[in-house]
């Protein structure tokens, strides 16, 4: 639809959705399915973060690195040897770009004609008092949903403005593989990309102020740190960033640690220190939409902002920054906007995944969170060398940790560190959603020689030593 069509802009809409990424499309489709007339307002490349610069490009590159690593890892089986190397980096990047373009077209642009109730309008949106403007022209709508997402944030380090810093977006657009890379930030993006580049034969140093994956269980992060180091990644935790500078050889980061001040040098630097909400230019504060100190839109449990009739969902709210939660929240916001705010946003059984190898996956409360919430806590930890699938694969890196309420035996949360952990976590999410106890999980039938069987063993280990069980004896 032509963004300059004044007739369209003067038409009344039931809902205006600002942002044409995963959350925006979810809100627009949901509202259209409920019979609403929707203005979907996008600016820039359609499809948002996930398909263009986030999940899709990063995960295909991570899979490529896994294939490369898998060849050399074949030696864990007696009698096998393998070797693989990067022969054409530009071709790998081009294939990634082709996948992104294909999915963007099929899952976003090509969907629009199927929804007659949705008008797509290209333009910049902002509030002007009670009015919503698109490229300066007013657009009338009964309700508004803001789903403008978030962008990579720069760390607060002296000299950062004078250095060519890569982000999670631009690092995946490099036409030449860097010889060495300094990754600043130990969250999920930093861990994923550090390992990916290291497996592509880039010398990687990963530095972070705290520990890796600070919101994960300490047993998980300790093990993951060890595995990354085993693959040649230099991991430096608990450092203070003093300054960064550009040098002829690349970049130099000066840090302060327990051993004193030192410098770290690399050809390129990648910042993975979080994301900031895309709220600039929307004039939200003047419109009565309150923001938090990070610039994220404040919403209640029905995704309503502080301005009546305006909702927000996805990364722009600063919470649960996963594409599936953005889409889920946007769907809920659209339903509430049309049907009286009856639905409550619930992330109590929200699974999450870090696509390192081994993968890290979790759901529910950590041990520390459960204690802080007042539970009398019991935990179980089963190393993967107790899981037959891992033994058969000759890859016992990892563990499973479960957290439960000691009084009721009800499961409260759990985390998995395993080569196929992402495919197992949904079982635990379902268990939490329906209030399953550790006893019930331990008595459930699981297929043999699967990683998910480890959940059964972890549940059984609350009451017995699973190392003394024969195969399938439980």
Known binding-site positions = 59, 185-192, 274, 315
The verdict on whether omega for the bond into residue 391 sits within 30 degrees of 0, i.e. cis, is no
Burial degree of 339 (CB within 10 A; 0-12, 13-18, 19+): exposed
- Which token pair is 270? 């990648």
Nearest to 44 by CA among 115, 108, 94, 117: 108
Question: Measured between alpha carbons, how far is 193 from 269 in angstroms, rounded to an integer?
Answer: 12
Burial degree of 392 (CB within 10 A; 0-12, 13-18, 19+): exposed
Question: Measured between alpha carbons, how far is 243 from 252 in angstroms, rounded to an integer?
Answer: 8
Residues 6+ apart with CB under 8 A from 333: 27, 145, 303, 311, 312, 313
Burial degree of 468 (CB within 10 A; 0-12, 13-18, 19+): exposed
Angle at 71 between CA 451 and CA 385, to 5 degrees: 30
Task: Specify binding-site residues for FAD.
Answer: 59, 315
- Which token pair is 242? 């003093």
How would you write 406-460 as a 3-class SS string? CCCCEEEEEEEEECCHHHCHHHHHHHHHCCCEHHHHHHCCCCCCCCCHHHHHHHH
Question: Measured between alpha carbons, how far is 428 from 434 in angstroms, rounded to an integer?
Answer: 10
First to last CA, the chain: 61
Residues 6+ apart with CB under 8 A from 371: 377
Question: Measured between alpha carbons, how far is 52 from 267 in angstroms, rounded to an integer?
Answer: 26
Nearest to 352 by CA among 313, 315, 322, 314: 322
* Sign of the four-CA dihedral 200, 203, 207, 211: positive
Task: Specify binding-site residues for NAD(+).
Answer: 185-192, 274
Residues 6+ apart with CB under 8 A from 200: 64, 65, 68, 86, 89, 177
Question: Do 437 and 408 contact (CB within 8 A), yes or no?
Answer: yes
- Which token pair is 295? 């610039």
Question: Measured between alpha carbons, how far is 403 from 190 in angstroms, rounded to an integer?
Answer: 27
């Amino acid at each position: 639809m032509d963004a300059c069509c004044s007739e369209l802009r003067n038409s009344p809409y039931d809902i205006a959705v600002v942002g044409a990424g995963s959350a925006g499309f979810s809100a627009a489709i949901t509202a259209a399915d409920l019979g609403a007339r929707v203005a979907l307002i996008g600016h820039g490349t359609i499809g948002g973060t996930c398909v263009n610069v986030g999940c899709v490009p990063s995960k295909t590159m991570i899979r490529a690195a896994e294939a490369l690593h898998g060849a050399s890892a074949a030696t864990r089986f007696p009698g096998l040897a393998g070797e693989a190397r990067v022969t054409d980096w530009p071709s790998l990047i081009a294939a990634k770009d082709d996948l992104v373009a294909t999915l963007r077209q099929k899952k976003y642009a090509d969907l629009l004609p199927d929804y007659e109730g949705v008008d797509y309008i290209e333009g910049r949106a902002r509030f002007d008092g009670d009015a919503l403007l698109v490229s300066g022209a007013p657009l009338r709508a009964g309700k508004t949903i803001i789903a403008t997402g978030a962008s990579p944030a720069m760390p607060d380090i002296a000299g950062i403005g004078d250095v060519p810093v890569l982000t999670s977006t631009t690092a995946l657009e490099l036409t030449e593989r860097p010889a060495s890379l300094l990754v600043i930030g130990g969250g999920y993006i930093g861990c994923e990309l550090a390992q990916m580049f290291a497996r592509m034969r880039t010398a990687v140093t990963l530095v972070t102020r705290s520990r890796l994956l600070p919101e994960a269980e300490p047993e998980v992060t300790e093990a993951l740190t060890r595995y990354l180091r085993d693959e040649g990644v230099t991991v430096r935790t608990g450092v203070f960033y003093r300054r960064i500078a550009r040098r002829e050889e690349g970049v130099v980061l000066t840090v302060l640690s327990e051993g004193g001040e030192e410098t770290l040098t690399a050809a390129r630097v990648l910042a993975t220190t979080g994301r900031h909400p895309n709220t600039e230019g929307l004039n939200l504060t003047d419109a009565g939409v309150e923001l938090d100190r990070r610039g994220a839109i404040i919403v209640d449990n029905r995704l309503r902002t502080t301005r009546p009739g305006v909702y927000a969902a996805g990364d722009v709210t600063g919470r649960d920054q996963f594409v599936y939660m953005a889409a889920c929240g946007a769907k809920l916001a659209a339903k509430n906007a049309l049907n009286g705010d009856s639905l409550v946003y619930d992330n109590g059984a929200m699974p999450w995944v870090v696509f390192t190898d081994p993968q890290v996956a979790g759901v529910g409360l950590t041990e520390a969170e459960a204690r802080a919430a007042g539970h009398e806590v019991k935990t179980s930890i089963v190393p993967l060398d107790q899981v037959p699938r891992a033994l058969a694969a000759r890859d016992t890196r990892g563990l499973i940790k479960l957290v439960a309420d000691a009084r009721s035996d009800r499961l409260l949360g759990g985390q998995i560190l395993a080569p196929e952990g992402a495919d197992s976590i949904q079982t635990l999410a379902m268990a939490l959603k329906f209030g399953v106890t550790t006893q019930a999980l331990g008595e459930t039938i699981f297929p043999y020689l699967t990683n998910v069987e480890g959940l059964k063993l972890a549940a059984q280990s609350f009451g017995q030593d699973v190392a003394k069980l024969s195969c399938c004896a439980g």
